[in-house]
Amino acid sequence: MKRFQAGDKTSFALLVRRYQGPLYNFALRHVRVDTAAEDVVQEAFIRVVQNGAEFKFESRVSTWLFSIARNLSIDHLRKAALRKHPSLDQPTSDSEESRTLGETIADSKETDRSAEGERLKGRLEAAVRQLPEEQREVFLLRETGDMPFKDIAELTGVSENTVKSRMRYALLRLKELLADYEADAKALH
């Protein structure tokens, strides 16, 4: 970031390479639509270009980037709530078997292994969606953003102990929500 602020344009490519994946995963868990997550990440990097000179290193660069992505995700969800027509990329329901409207129209065949992986992914995403907002946010920042608890506390404006508590409750709740899936998987094998 210091090199970028000093005018080294190639250092921006390094920032993108380092943070694009984690930011995308974080945004995707919030907005739940891959194209919207891509838009959030793209806009986050545009904000870095526009406001990079103002970054003061009072926090980590990763904390700043996730803060931008968090705010853009929240903005996206607010705008989506006002939208009158469903997107082709939007899940058709909140169930773990949910597919997008576009996938429903263009039905594709999957192998048994990829189908099972998709079911697990769907169940996990559905379980994460059921977490209270504060727990979900901490879980996503920690697991998809690989962010330390201290940075999450700074980003969310609560104490580090509160962040750890929210993470603990999120993990307990996810364990409860996924217990039936684990039992079903053991029964099949």
pLDDT, residue 143, reads: 86
CA separation for the pair 137, 170 (Å, rounded): 10
DSSP, residue by residue, 74-116:
HHHHHHHHH-SS--TTSBSSSSTT--BHHHHHS-----HHHHH
Domain with 45, as residue range(s), is 1-89
Let me know whether 187 and 139 are in one domain.
Answer: yes
Q: What sections of the chain are H helices per DSSP?
A: 2-5, 10-31, 34-51, 61-82, 101-105, 112-130, 133-143, 149-156, 160-188
Mean pLDDT by 10 residues, the chain (189 residues): 90 94 92 92 94 89 93 88 60 62 54 66 85 91 86 91 93 87 59
Number of domains in the chain: 2
CATH of the domain at 47: 1.10.1740.10
Q: Report pLDDT for 124.
A: 83
With respect to residue 96, please indicate whether it lies within any of the assigned structural domains.
Answer: no
Q: What's the pLDDT score for residue 145?
A: 79
The model's pLDDT over 134-168, given as tens digits with 9 standing for 90+, comes to 999 999 988 887 889 999 999 889 999 999 999 99
97, part of any domain: no
Asked whether residue 103 is domain-assigned, the answer is no
3-state secondary structure of 8: coil
Residue 174 tokens read as 């996810």
Together in a domain, 73 and 136? no
